[in-house]
Structure 1
Amino acid sequence: MRVDFYQLSRDPAEAALPLIARNVMKVGERLLVVAEDPQQRQRICQALWSLGEDTFLANGMVGEGQEDRQPILLSEATEPLNGAKFMAIADGRWREGDTPFERTFFLFDDATVQHARDTWRMLRSREGVEHFYWKQEGGRWVQAG
């Protein structure tokens, strides 16, 4: 299991997630995006549909039907109804699925940084968990300590 911690400093989750989602799609995987707030999920949905002039990332919300066909599924729960092996937690509140995801992208900001630190320490004590820390630097994501 791999967990990538993304510290949001300049951009909100809805700005960072399309880039993560695009990379997940490039490797042929599906993504579950989890956020408790329905308004945040809606902002993420819009960001995915409008990635660029000629680019969009097809996605759907749990409850709209055909969840199993969605390459990117947005939900408040960690249940991968689309068969995703990758999960992005957009709201800075750690949670896990019944079955561990191969890779989790954990996005957090200044308001949730302490929870992220606690999560880092908790995961560090687990066997078989790789974790990496990313921060924004000059408009790019760089791996940090």
Structure 2
Amino acid sequence: MSEVLFYQLSKFPLERALPTLLEKCLERDWVVTVQFGTEERCDAIDSYLWTYSDDGFLPHGTKKEGHPEFQPIYLTTEGDNPNEAIVRFLVDRAPLPDPAQYQRVVYMFDGNDQEALQEARQRWMEVKNSDHELTYWAQTDNGGWDRKA
């Protein structure tokens, strides 16, 4: 059984929320793949993760750099898993994979976008009817997360 976590962005954008969650994954020695809905967003986050903090960066790569098997965080728009990630993040309405392929699937969506919100509700119902552990997290005013379900 896998964990499927829904994270609703409402107070702060993906650029602020994603790095913190990725840092937590690396602290736990989890290998991660982040799948984006568009190449433009993937490229933008790729650049951002090198400079988002004055204290450091998040080690990551994309198909362009090659050697995905050595990347602790792999950014893609495809459904592949070349770094053998155990955690998969889905952002910008990337399609939900079979959760059984991962220990944890994190579906992040913009709660201020009605289409994205509706799509997240549909995916929630799909996962709810499976054997996977399901949780829902909402952003707090300070950028943290409260478990709501």
After TM superposition, list the pairs within 5 Å mapping 1:128-143 onto structure 2.
129-139=132-142, 140-143=144-147
Task: Please give the TM-score of this superposition, normalised by the length of structure 1.
Answer: 0.91
Aligned partners of 1:108 and 1:116 also within 8 Å: yes
Question: What is the Cα deviation at residue 124 of structure 1?
Answer: 0.8
**Partner residue in 2 for 1:28:** 29
Q: Distance in 2 between matches of 1:144 and 1:94?
A: 23
After TM superposition, list the pairs within 5 Å mapping 1:69-108 onto structure 2.
69-97=70-98, 100-108=101-109
Q: Distance in 2 between matches of 1:7 and 1:33?
A: 16
Moved over 6 A (4+): none
**Partner residue in 2 for 1:40:** 41
Task: Please give the TM-score of this superposition, normalised by the length of structure 2.
Answer: 0.89
Q: Distance in 1 between matches of 2:61 and 2:130?
A: 33
**Partner residue in 1 for 2:63:** 62
Task: Name structure 2 gaps, 5 residues minimum.
Answer: none
Question: What is the Cα deviation at residue 8 of structure 1?
Answer: 1.0
Q: How many residues were matched structurally?
A: 144
What is the root-mean-square deviation in Å for CA atoms of aligned residues? 1.7
SS in 2 for 1:19: helix
Aligned partners of 2:7 and 2:138 also within 8 Å: yes
2:122 paired residue among 102, 118, 125: 118
Q: Distance in 1 between matches of 2:133 and 2:10?
A: 23
SS in 1 for 2:30: coil
Q: Equivalent pairs: percent with the same residue?
A: 28
Distance 1:99 1:63, change over 3 A: farther
Task: Name structure 1 gaps, 5 residues minimum.
Answer: none
